[in-house]
């Protein structure tokens, strides 16, 4: 069911400062910031040869990562994203095996313009998992 690792997401308190570290210190290519109001975050992607790193900061008071940053004020790994061929098939298979899909269970459009779902970290060894349809 799982395809390749699409990205590892790191929650940061200051997106501009974190982007500068990757761009200026590590020499990485960093995309322009993208506000994702539906997800409550602003993101950039660090482009790597075999995957990406997503840096995300809260967008607005109701951001789902605000609580994460309150517990981890310096930031930290937030989730991993895996690619799937059919997100509805993957969701239904996971739900039938007892995995919890967050939110209303319906895919939302992610940063790459593709359908995404998030899976409860308690079902995946303490890791928040995002699935993205390719």
Predicted confidence (pLDDT) per residue in 82-93, tens digit = 999 999 999 999
Percent of the chain residues topping a pLDDT of 70: 100
Owning domain of residue 30: 5-133
* Residue closest to 15 by CA, chosen among 31, 26, 27: 31
Is the pLDDT reported for residue 120 higher than 90? yes
Rounded to the nearest integer, the mean pLDDT of the chain is: 96
CATH number at residue 90: 3.10.180.10
- Would you state the pLDDT for residue 60? 85
Annotation marks residue 38 as catalytic: no
Active-site annotation holder among 54, 83, 130, 132: 130
Is the pLDDT reported for residue 134 higher than 90? yes
Query: Number of structural domains, the chain?
Result: 1
Average pLDDT over residues 4-20: 97
* Residue closest to 52 by CA, chosen among 82, 90, 118, 8: 8
Average pLDDT over residues 70-87: 97
**pLDDT band (50, 70, 90) for residue 62:** confident
**pLDDT band (50, 70, 90) for residue 61:** confident
Q: Specify the pTM.
A: 0.94
**pLDDT band (50, 70, 90) for residue 24:** very high
């Amino acid at each position: 069911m799982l395809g390749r690792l699409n990205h590892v997401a790191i929650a940061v308190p200051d997106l501009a400062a974190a982007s500068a570290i990757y761009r200026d210190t590590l020499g990485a290519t960093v995309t322009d910031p993208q506000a994702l109001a539906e997800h409550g975050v602003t993101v950039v992607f660090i482009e790597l040869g075999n995957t990406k790193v997503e840096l995300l900061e809260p967008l607005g008071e109701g951001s789902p990562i605000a609580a994460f940053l309150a517990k981890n004020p310096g930031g930290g790994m937030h989730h991993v994203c895996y690619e799937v061929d059919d997100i509805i098939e993957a969701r239904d298979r996971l739900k039938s095996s007892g995995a919890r899909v967050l939110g209303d269970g319906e895919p939302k459009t992610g940063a790459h313009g593709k359908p995404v779902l998030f899976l409860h970290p308690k079902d995946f060894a303490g890791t928040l998992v995002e699935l993205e349809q390719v």
